Amino acid sequence: MDKYVIGCDYGTLSMRAVLVRVKDGFIAAEESCAYENGVITGRLPDSGVRLEGPDWALQDPDDYTRALLKCVTAAIKAAGVFPEQVVGIAVDFTTCTVVPMDADGEPLCKDPRLRDRPHAWVKLWKNHTAQKEADDINEYVHKNGLKILDAYGFRASSEFLFPKLLEIYRKDKEVYDCAHTFLEGGDYVTFKLCGKIARSGVMAAAKGFYDNETRAFPEKAFFAGLEPGFKNVVEEKRLENVARVGSPAGTLTPEMAKQLGLLESTVVCTAHADAAVALPGGGVVKPNVMMLVMGTSTCHMMMAKEKATVPGMCAVYYEGILPGYYTYEAGQNAVGDIFDWFCKNCLPEEYKAEAERRGLSAMQLMDEKAAALKIGESGIVALDWMNGNRSVLQDADLSGVLMGLKLSTKPEHIYRALLEATAFGTKIILDRFAEYGIAVEEIFACGGLAHKSPVLMQMYSDVLGLPIKITAHKQTSALASAVFAAVAAGAYGSYEEAAKSMVPPPGRQYEPNTDATKKYREIFAVYKELHDYFGAGGGGMKKLKRLMAQN
């Protein structure tokens, strides 16, 4: 009988599971499940306690287990496989998403005594209430000349692990004290599956200051410097058992095996990060191939043999994708979000009506109109910083710009400039890699935008002057988790073999048009001029943000 594995991809709003045949990657079933409580922002469930300000983004850990049970059982049922055919399961997850947990392995927010306390809940990666703590860490590290942030572009964000923990320590000491440990969301699901804590080394390195080479968190002096009582956070909160990428965490607990309808012998793999895992999911198991994970924002992930400091990258750390390689990570804070913003806020009535009449989404209509323009015809260059700039400027206080508006400017001129700006933003990142001697030999892309906007992807290929391969399967990350499950279960001896058998070759490939590439060079030069001017603090952009904050 054929063997199968299960890959579970936990995103921000929903979870997707695939049941995959080990020998050839055939996807026997695919299920998805939106989280009942989604992203919690305004008020806490049940208690109705108000969450002040726009920075909260909490989640309900029961949504994770409910989605797991629902999708996995449905997939097994749909495919009609027997329990003994399923040899492994793995999850990938958003990071850093933090679950405060008690000694019994239950999330603190499930404790009736703590259910009305915001800090007892799961903090989603994009919960930004710990900005002060991130600022404090940055200040402390820079003042004391520490190396802790060297791997993170010299800057901690409020999305990281320790700003989140320090915030709980400061703002709700009781919750902090009640916490037996804090787990990443992915580690929590793995724990639920196998009953053992096996922290994802990928996640610990990506957002948790963990060094996969020395296998250590920062020293106590660092934590003590932030807050004396925070000195022993690693020991007191048991931040231990960090596992190497892809290593087996255990096998299913009897209870979980029963609930999922699987055997207890089913191997559970350590969790992976949802963007990083996309590379093997696209069949990329070698260095110097960049994967663009393109959705509301874009993650640029790549492996390399060598370690180099590339200024402006989000992070450079060991074993964040596959064993033995350094992971290079860059990002654009808003990509699809910008196009959404435009379609919701700037599209006149007649465009909306045309889209409806022709059965197109607003974005499909605008893609079509933008594609009909010649390169340079819009006369507009935009800066794609509507949600700040992650790479290479690493500045959340930057904002978007449109230059070249005329009385003859039409919506499609602006829209096209926005598409181009995100492509230029990617070129800035690639150019930075090249500048520091890190070769980018191939480009892959996955994610919603990569699969649904040929206009955008052709533009990226033309702007970058490189071919772009689109991953064959839309659920690139879930498929990747299945690959990890297969290797962890011993079905393959290496990721190379597993990927070769289980991942189909890229689907559509975009080839750059030489003439277009030449024309874009000139417009990119204008983008670069604006980028460097505003990026260096020109134009009063940051002053404006401060004035805005006074309101």
List residues near a second copy by CB under 8 A.
Answer: 334, 337-338, 341, 344-349, 352-353, 374-381, 386-387, 399-407, 409-411, 519, 522-523, 525-526, 529-530, 533-534, 538-541, 543-545, 547-548, 550-551
546: which residues sit within 8 A by CB, 6+ positions away?
A: none
| Nearer Cβ to a second copy (73/296) | 296
| Nearer Cβ to a second copy (214/345) | 345
Strand partners, 472: none
Question: Does the CA dihedral 179-183-184-186 come out positive or negative?
Answer: negative
Q: Strand (E) positions, 237-288?
A: 242-243, 248-251, 267-269, 272-273
| Nearer Cβ to a second copy (109/418) | 418
**Three-state SS for 232?**
coil
Q: Are strands 122-123 and 58-59 parallel, antiparallel or unpaired?
A: antiparallel
Structure tokens of 20?
A: 């995959």
Cα dist. 310→141, 209, 276, 392, 438 in Å?
A: 19, 18, 18, 9, 9
Strand partners, 511: none
Q: In the complex, what is the shortest distance from the CB of residue 157 to a second copy, in angstroms, rounded to a whole number? A: 17
To the nearest 10 degrees (0 to 180), the angle between helices 336-345 and 411-435 is: 160
Please state, as a whole number, how many other Cβ atoms lie within 10 Å of the Cβ of residue 188: 26
Q: How far apart are CA 250 and CA 254, in angstroms?
A: 12
Q: What is the longest distance spanned by two Cα atoms in the chain?
A: 69
196: which residues sit within 8 A by CB, 6+ positions away?
A: 241, 249, 250
| Nearer Cβ to a second copy (282/411) | 411
Three-state SS letters, 415-476: HHHHHHHHHHHHHHHHHHHHHCCCCCCEEEEECHHHHHCHHHHHHHHHHHCCCEEECCCCCH
| Nearer Cβ to a second copy (110/410) | 410
Q: In the complex, what is the shortest distance from the CB of residue 97 to a second copy, in angstroms, rounded to a whole number? A: 21
**Three-state SS for 406?**
coil
Q: In the complex, what is the shortest distance from the CB of residue 222 to a second copy, in angstroms, rounded to a whole number? A: 34
Q: In the complex, what is the shortest distance from the CB of residue 378 to a second copy, in angstroms, rounded to a whole number? A: 7
| Nearer Cβ to a second copy (214/550) | 550
Please state, as a whole number, how many other Cβ atoms lie within 10 Å of the Cβ of residue 291: 30
| Nearer Cβ to a second copy (379/504) | 379
| Nearer Cβ to a second copy (435/529) | 529
Q: How far apart are CA 26 and CA 91, in angstroms?
A: 18
Q: In the complex, what is the shortest distance from the CB of residue 340 to a second copy, in angstroms, rounded to a whole number? A: 8
| Nearer Cβ to a second copy (215/352) | 352
Structure tokens of 40?
A: 């919690």
Q: How far apart are CA 4 and CA 82, in angstroms?
A: 9
Tell which residue, 354, 345, 346, 423, has the closest CA to residue 384: 423
Q: In the complex, what is the shortest distance from the CB of residue 381 to a second copy, in angstroms, rounded to a whole number? A: 6
Q: In the complex, what is the shortest distance from the CB of residue 350 to a second copy, in angstroms, rounded to a whole number? A: 9
| Nearer Cβ to a second copy (14/409) | 409
Q: In the complex, what is the shortest distance from the CB of residue 322 to a second copy, in angstroms, rounded to a whole number? A: 34
551: which residues sit within 8 A by CB, 6+ positions away?
A: none
Place of tokens 């960090």: 242
Place of tokens 């004396």: 228
Q: In the complex, what is the shortest distance from the CB of residue 15 to a second copy, in angstroms, rounded to a whole number? A: 25
Q: In the complex, what is the shortest distance from the CB of residue 509 to a second copy, in angstroms, rounded to a whole number? A: 28
| Nearer Cβ to a second copy (182/534) | 534
Three-state SS letters, 105-160: CCEHHHCCCCCCCHHHCEECCCCCCCHHHHHHHHHHHHHCCCCCCHHHCCCCCCCC
Q: In the complex, what is the shortest distance from the CB of residue 186 to a second copy, in angstroms, rounded to a whole number? A: 27
**Three-state SS for 33?**
strand
| Nearer Cβ to a second copy (6/375) | 375
Q: In the complex, what is the shortest distance from the CB of residue 549 to a second copy, in angstroms, rounded to a whole number? A: 9
| Nearer Cβ to a second copy (113/358) | 358
Place of tokens 């001129």: 413
Q: In the complex, what is the shortest distance from the CB of residue 129 to a second copy, in angstroms, rounded to a whole number? A: 17
